[in-house]
Chains A and B, each alone.
Chain A
Amino acid sequence: MIDLTNMPASDIASGVQRGDLTAVEVAESYLQRIEKFDNEIMAFATVDREVVRAESAGQDHRLASGARLPLHGVPVGVKDIIDVAGLPTIAGFEPYRDRIAQRDADIVGALRSLGAVVLGKTHTTQFAVGDPAPTANPWNLSKSPAGSSAGSGAAVAARMAPITLGSQTAGSMLRPAAFNGVVGLKPTFGWFSLDGVFPLCWSLDHLGVYGATVDDVSLIYRSLTGAQRIPELSAPENPRIALLTEFLDMSDPEVADHTRAVASALETAGARIVETTIPEPFDYLFAVHQVIFAAEMSAVHSANLERYAEYYGPRIRTGVEAGSLIPAAYLLQAQRHRRALTRTFDRFLAGFDAVLLPTVSTEACDRDETGDRRFQIPATLLGAPAISLPTGLSSNTLPLGTQLVARRGADEQLLAIARWVSAAAPLVERPDLERVIQTSA
């Protein structure tokens, strides 16, 4: 059987639509790859092969009935805090092992109605916080795939799924994209419904999409938002891009050098690069995020922690306990500051087609941590769309990510700029997993 796991999602959909491929063939290729490699990578928490086969056969049947759907036959991995009817939503929490979802989350139902096939549930850190997931980084098995969307990032890098869903409340979409060397999009706050998603912090939670290319995540974004009915935006000929220098100063030298090299390549390709700093101090944004995050997380989890303390990981447990100590006035004041910051940054971001910074301050860290979340937090706090592109490799052959952020609501513009950037600064290919596993043995 032909290995279809290197095929872009858009080619899978068009191949199935034309009848060159069947959804069953595509799903079978991915199931075989999961079977072959997931004992090493541990990207998936749950895969029900018979359900996948039945669902893909159902999509072929819809095609035979005349339906031509934008995601016809595209397999999708779903982060295990997002409900998929009939599968457990474990969320990395042992007492939930048999907590079977009765219906699909909104986003899963939408993907299925667009022709996608759910492959399974991908591992997350416990409740999408900081205790590492069991997943290994497909570039180096001793390294972290980051978190919290560890399995979703690793599954795309390992070619176990062409598309996966993740979530971000601090840096959980973009950081796994950078560490695993894939494209990760976190749209504007509220763009994707959170109905059927286990909450972490109601005012900060975002859903997002991973893929191997900008075109693949753009296909999913445009299909989910209905934007496929309108022409795709093109980047301006000479996009105006801000390089945020304070983040270079906070990065490892190799990361800073890489980001400058990307900016230089973009300038050569015609971009107007403006070196600048953000309009308010980073420490201010970070503080506002951290207080809201801790207080909301505590509100979500305090009662459950009382009941299941022994099952909670040490990081989330201490976070919930400390967060419950925050006085109400501080939370309210943090929310006011968030609004004030959002106004300031809306004006700042409107001055550029996108701003550019490293996705993470370092290359992938060891597996007992999930990495530095600081650089992903501004876009989360401000609700602005952000995308991470795998623009290079470190001297240790680990991926380095470049982050682009645009003003709230300018998701289509961000995707157009990202497509332009990925042509000017080509993205790294996914790793040779067999070689990585042999090297690690």
Chain B
Amino acid sequence: MNRPQFAKSSTPSGRLTGGCSSPTLSWETLRKLREVVSAERYVLVKLHPKVTSTEIAAQLRTQAEEDYGADRVEHIAGQIEHLSEMMAEIARRELDLTDVPPDRSGIRDRDER
């Protein structure tokens, strides 16, 4: 999908200038564009002990709307809510940075067992 091109700076008058030579944009247009961009942009679900299931669910839902469309999101809303709670539980439980690597058995082929 083609993303809208942003101007890099703006003037206090609400007119955008700078990095693009296209016609300047109003603040209102910029706000709308940002909504579009955030809806199509990768969703960042931070792995942080304070993240809540509500925050995760909101992000996953946004991503789901982008991937599957609003109609499907209604079908998977329950799963999103469930997974968000599970993810928040994982994020809440910290591990020592240098301890416990993830399973690395993926580098072994079946024949190497």
Contact = CB atoms under 8 A, between A and B. Distances in A.
Interface string B72-108: 1001101110110111011101010001111101000
Contacts of B110: 195
A287 B64 contact: no
Contact of A290 (B68, B82, B105): B82
Nearest to A325: B60
B45 interface: yes
A330 B101 contact: no
Given A334-B90, A336-B102, A324 B67 contact: yes
B73 to A, nearest CB: 9
Contacts, number: 88
A337 B103 contact: no
A323 B45 CA distance: 14
Chain B interface size range? 20 to 34
Contact of A203 (B80, B82, B89, B103): B103
Contacts of B95: 333, 336-337, 340
Nearest to B106: A202
A294 B64 contact: no
Contacts of B60: 322, 325
Contacts of B102: 332-333, 335-336, 339
B93 A337 contact: yes
Chain A interface mostly helix, strand, loop or mixed?
helix
A325 B103 contact: no
A329 B79 contact: no
Nearest to A329: B47
Chain B interface mostly helix, strand, loop or mixed?
helix
Interface string A289-325: 0110010000000000000000000100111011111
Nearest to B75: A318
A284 B93 contact: yes
Contacts of B75: 314, 317-318, 321
Given A326-B87, A330-B45, A335 B103 contact: yes
Given A322-B60, A336-B102, A330 B90 contact: yes
A318 B76 contact: yes
A337 B79 contact: no
A286 interface: yes
A157 B82 CA distance: 34
A237 interface: no
A287 B90 contact: yes
Contact of A339 (B43, B89, B103): B103
A283 interface: yes
Contacts of A335: 102-103
B86 A290 contact: yes
Contacts of A334: 90
B63 A325 contact: yes
Contacts of A294: 79, 83
Contacts of B78: 318
A284 B93 CA distance: 8
A284 B85 CA distance: 11
Interface in A157-200: 190, 195
Given A203-B103, A290-B82, A322-B60, A337 B90 contact: yes
Contact of B100 (A323, A329, A340): A340
A286 B60 CA distance: 20
Contacts of A333: 47, 90-91, 95, 102
Q: Which of B82, B85, B103, B113 has the most CB of A within 10 A?
A: B103
A291 B89 CA distance: 10
A373 to B, nearest CB: 13
A291 B86 contact: yes
A201 B10 CA distance: 50
B103 A323 contact: no
B68 A321 contact: yes
A195 B110 CA distance: 9
Contacts of A209: none
Q: Which of B60, B68, B83, B102 has the most CB of A within 10 A?
A: B83
Given A318-B79, A325-B67, 17 more contacts: A283-B89, A288-B90, A318-B76, A321-B64, A321-B68, A322-B82, A322-B83, A325-B80, A327-B47, A333-B47, A333-B90, A333-B91, A334-B90, A335-B103, A336-B100, A336-B101, A339-B100
Interface of B: 43, 45, 47, 60, 63-64, 67-68, 72, 75-76, 78-80, 82-83, 85-87, 89-91, 93, 95, 99-103, 105, 110, 113
13 contacts: A195-B110, A203-B103, A287-B87, A321-B68, A321-B75, A321-B79, A322-B64, A324-B67, A325-B60, A330-B45, A330-B91, A332-B102, A339-B101
